[in-house]
Structure 1
């Protein structure tokens, strides 16, 4: 049976992760071009669809009857353009491939609800959870025909951060320089050098392990160089503490390492680190630390005049707390 054509159909790409959204759109356009190479491709921001421009776009041109129209920033669609966009999205004509891109949130909900009710094809481009980033790295590496173990994937996240574009670019660099080799955590750390030493996760790991001096040194360097936004430090600490709290709660259960890691939300090799931390931490201490992180998070988002000082006080509080 012949594959379903993308013409005469609508695709909704919804979510705030721009890289995933852009890839979904690009893949759909590529498929449309393979089907009908003569099709005219137009990308337009929704706020620019006033004064009947959308009607012109979906009608193709004098030289191309087939049209691929990508509408970005759908949440900002003008009211006067809404009826035609909705009607077209629900009943696109056979020469139109329509792609609507919505960055998430509730703005434009009426149109989104109509598309959902009509079961329009939807691709989600939601942000990837921090603990799922190593899986993203592994999948990207597979596309590049690279071989990374779990620790290497996590080390890359620790070194580069949570931005998907940066992670993808880093993998392209590694694949170019280590073509055909299996990339280890040690190779990642060597390749990215000092950058790995000043990430938010490195600060968090030192703070939770009680390495106060090292945590403060990395924190001050990261903030001074502008490599790490203050909110990323509170986010990393919160993530690490949540994982530790879940581990403390579940470690006495009868779980295999794989099941325990899945319940906690970490890769299996990370359980050794959590087991080591659990000797100095209790559930009560974790709860107190999470409250301290929540307070500091408010401060770095505007409640305090000096985010750096607020983070230093947080690191001091966490790294010096005795087991309770």
Structure 2
């Protein structure tokens, strides 16, 4: 079985989309539908759901046609398919019909494992629709959302969107659509790439966005600026827990790029992000990093119930990070 990225999968006689992330699976299906229509505007599209999977359902739509039209056959819930359909797909696997692309979507679980093993043995292209956890994968998702709409987004702008909304993929997709709508050019004007400034305007007040701005200032040793940004966030009602979590994420990334032999590939981040973090890391040594990370750990402990004043704990953390950076 050949693994293919959801944003680059192409139609094939049989394609398996396997994983629990529904939005990634949906994007892969949308891409296959669009490509099938590009290849043949008259393509016939059929869907066999678990409820409609009567015996012989696959043969009814995949058998050779008198007119030989192209067909895309989608099975959207293979994990719930009746045994009759699973058996029919197993029989179909060795000799797929010409002009037919069969797309199988399996959301996970043990049901249909024998068929999944047979698909793997046959070398069927497989799209892993797994939850996106790495920031780099989420940025790829954002970039693909803009490409689908015929638009572009600058890498740092995509990273900012992930920083602000990356905990929920559906929310990330929704805010990408909102940003596309808000930056639609006037009729006759050529669309430009969405910029970091436009993202920041949209995400103004978002806790994660504010926290990363605080972290950036603290990592640079700008104590006064970091404390002003922190005060603005606190006055706006920002919860100390996600503030500390976002700053902790930034400090962990800084520590990772400071490790010997760190590379974009080993860290799972884009080259440009590695370059930016490496530039920030030049002002740090191992002792200063350890001191700052200890300050973050202490603040995390206190804002989660161990301290009396969570806001003071966050302020002390920022001060300690800045002083570690400046060697004081």
TM-score class, shorter: 0.5 to 0.7
State whether structure 2 residue 51 is matched by structure 1 residue 48. yes
Compared with structure 1, are the counterparts of its residues 268 and 80 closer, same or farther at alpha carbon in structure 2 (3 Å cutoff)? same
Unaligned runs of 5+ residues in structure 1 are: 225-229, 254-258
State whether structure 2 residue 181 is matched by structure 1 residue 173. yes
Among residues 119, 133, 136, which one is paired with 1:131 in the alignment? 136
Among residues 148, 153, 162, which one is paired with 2:158 in the alignment? 153
Structure 1 residue 213, shift from structure 2 partner: 8.1
Kindly indicate whether the alpha-carbon contact (under 8 Å) linking 2:139 and 2:159 is maintained by their aligned counterparts in 1.
Answer: yes
Structure 1 residue 176, shift from structure 2 partner: 1.0
2: CA distance between counterparts of 1:52 and 1:291?
A: 62
After superposition, the CA RMSD in angstroms is: 4.8
- Deviation per residue, 1:169-195 (Å, 9 max, x gap): 1452354148444543223323x1xx3
Kindly indicate whether the alpha-carbon contact (under 8 Å) linking 1:15 and 1:124 is maintained by their aligned counterparts in 2.
Answer: yes
Kindly indicate whether the alpha-carbon contact (under 8 Å) linking 1:57 and 1:69 is maintained by their aligned counterparts in 2.
Answer: no
Aligned equivalent of 2:4 = none
Task: Count matched residues.
Answer: 292
Compared with structure 1, are the counterparts of its residues 92 and 109 closer, same or farther at alpha carbon in structure 2 (3 Å cutoff)? same
Structure 1 residue 86, shift from structure 2 partner: 2.4
State whether structure 2 residue 28 is matched by structure 1 residue 24. yes
Kindly indicate whether the alpha-carbon contact (under 8 Å) linking 2:157 and 2:194 is maintained by their aligned counterparts in 1.
Answer: yes
Among residues 242, 264, 283, which one is paired with 2:252 in the alignment? 242
2: CA distance between counterparts of 1:312 and 1:82?
A: 57
Compared with structure 1, are the counterparts of its residues 239 and 88 closer, same or farther at alpha carbon in structure 2 (3 Å cutoff)? farther
1: CA distance between counterparts of 2:94 and 2:313?
A: 52
Q: TM-score, normalised by structure 1?
A: 0.64
Aligned equivalent of 2:113 = 109
Among residues 96, 104, 116, which one is paired with 1:92 in the alignment? 96
Among residues 72, 76, 87, which one is paired with 2:76 in the alignment? 72
Unaligned runs of 5+ residues in structure 2 are: 1-9
Structure 1 residue 142, shift from structure 2 partner: 5.8
Aligned equivalent of 1:283 = 290
- The SS at the match of 1:116 is helix
Kindly indicate whether the alpha-carbon contact (under 8 Å) linking 1:89 and 1:98 is maintained by their aligned counterparts in 2.
Answer: no
- The SS at the match of 1:196 is coil
- The SS at the match of 1:94 is coil
Structure 1 residue 100, shift from structure 2 partner: 0.4
- Deviation per residue, 1:197-235 (Å, 9 max, x gap): 3243533553683857855874896878xxxxx8x8787
Structure 1 residue 57, shift from structure 2 partner: 4.7
- Deviation per residue, 1:76-132 (Å, 9 max, x gap): 333453222322244333364211012356654332221111101223344262134
Kindly indicate whether the alpha-carbon contact (under 8 Å) linking 1:52 and 1:81 is maintained by their aligned counterparts in 2.
Answer: yes
2: CA distance between counterparts of 1:288 and 1:43?
A: 55
2: CA distance between counterparts of 1:218 and 1:144?
A: 34
Aligned equivalent of 1:187 = 198
- The SS at the match of 1:176 is coil
2: CA distance between counterparts of 1:212 and 1:51?
A: 65
Aligned equivalent of 1:227 = none
Q: Which has the higher helix share?
A: 1
Aligned equivalent of 2:205 = 197
1: CA distance between counterparts of 2:165 and 2:44?
A: 38
Compared with structure 1, are the counterparts of its residues 149 and 141 closer, same or farther at alpha carbon in structure 2 (3 Å cutoff)? same
1: CA distance between counterparts of 2:128 and 2:31?
A: 14
